Structure 1
Amino acid sequence: MTNATTPGTSPGRRVGLREKHKMRTRTAIREAAMRLFEQQGYASTTVEQIAKEADVSHTTFFRYFASKEQVVIHDDLADEREAAIAALPRGLNHFDLLRAVLRELYRLALEDPWTANPERMKLIHAEPALRTAYQIESDRAISEAVEFFADYLGVEPDNPRLRVFIAAAGGVMFHIANSAYEPGDDVYRLVLEAVDLLEQGLPL
């Protein structure tokens, strides 16, 4: 017997009927939203219209997404990211740890149809409200990275060297990633090259 898996879930994890229903509903809402955004523009599309297009109630919409912005910004990979990062080997230095984290994050993103959807990233780049929401999520991710690196490396979270390292790495990573519309191999290569330059002391 093989384990049932669904995009956005850990390989080998069985997915129950209730969870499958939730996934189908989230997908239906996202697909409805993207159709409406394309037809009438992001700003002109309301939550009520998305719910109607997805054939769900207004209440159901908010059961799955906190806002119209979160339909686009949010992904379903939190558990997968946590598991992948928890499985990283111990004893890496801070640059090798950064490379290992990036490898896992990009792998998960590329394997997930919604996260890797180029139309999603184009929309985020095009809409000021989405760019702002995306920046807030990015800032939150950097704060979480400080805590994770501090715990892994055995230093205090307020260590100024750690904070400069995370800020520099995060700034470079988001700048490169945001300059493209899809998280493809070229973006990953450019990010790793940037990490190499940081490790070398930013030689010119």
Structure 2
Amino acid sequence: MTATPTSLRERKKAKTRAAIREHAMRLFEEQGYASTTVDQIAEAAEVSPSTFFRYFPAKEDVILVDDYDPMMVEAARAQPPEVPPIEAIRRALREVFDRLTPEVWESERRRQRLFAEVPELRARALNQMAEALDLICDVLAERTGLPADDIRVRAAGGAVAGVVLAILPPGRMTGQSPIEPRDFDRLIEGLDLLQKGLPLG
């Protein structure tokens, strides 16, 4: 899911990007991730390979790159300044996920199935958490007035990232049920517990 494009050019770019991703996932499902080439994806989407690379730097990025992080950051920055930092992230996530359509949920389930089936994708996704952590820390730093590399900011950002990984690991665990809206309810609940200091008693 992306923010609604406002201009004709942006709408065309969003449509092309969505078409590339849809055809890529279909080909991955039909013939396997390793057997699918960028040229095949580009041909199916009726774009050139160079156009593919303008939207996705590499084949794996079709699956790895999602649109939620920028949306979450934007929503968190829009929260009133008096809202505590972790609460701002919790509210931002709720706002983003409440806007997801059934079509987006189905696309996300397909993406998660591919993570579960392709170990190298899952490993890369875990590596990407470092980038997501930096985004989280940027938001926390802005809301607290602390440097993004402050140990308190990094620790809090790591705790937020840990909640996400604990509840929604890439590809989930083999044999678990597909991702569902209620999983994001658990994510919000986990962040609420973090905001309260993780009481275990």
Structure 2 length normalisation: TM-score? 0.81
**1:162–1:58 distance in 2 versus 1, CA, 3 Å:** closer
Q: Report matched runs for 1:53-202 at 5 Å.
A: 53-76=44-67, 80-107=71-98, 110-111=100-101, 113-114=103-104, 117=107, 118-178=109-169, 179=172, 181-182=178-179, 184-198=180-194, 199-202=196-199
Please point out which of 2, 14, 24 is paired with 1:8.
2
Report deviation, 1:74.
1.8
Instruction: Give the residue type in structure 1 aligned to 2:200.
Output: P
| 1:37 correspondence with 2:28 | yes
| 1:22 correspondence with 2:19 | no
1:81-124 Cα shifts (integer Å, max 9, x gaps): 4432331111122342232232234335x249457621111112
1-side partners of 2:70 and 2:190: how far apart? Answer: 28
Instruction: Give the residue type in structure 2 aligned to 1:156.
Output: P
Aligned length, in residue pairs: 193
CA RMSD of aligned residues (A): 2.5
Do the aligned residues in 2 keep the contact of 1:197 with 1:203 (CA within 8 Å)? no
Report deviation, 1:66.
0.8
SS at match of 2:6: coil
Structure 1 length normalisation: TM-score? 0.80
Flag structure 2 segments of 5+ consecutive residues without an equivalent: none
SS at match of 1:72: helix
Instruction: Give the residue type in structure 2 aligned to 1:177.
Output: L
Do the aligned residues in 2 keep the contact of 1:29 with 1:61 (CA within 8 Å)? yes
Stretches (4+) displaced over 6 A: none
Flag structure 1 segments of 5+ consecutive residues without an equivalent: 1-6
Instruction: Give the residue type in structure 2 aligned to 1:8.
Output: T
1-side partners of 2:192 and 2:77: how far apart? Answer: 24
The structure, 1 or 2, with the larger RCO (C-alpha pairs under 8 Å, 6+ apart) is: 2
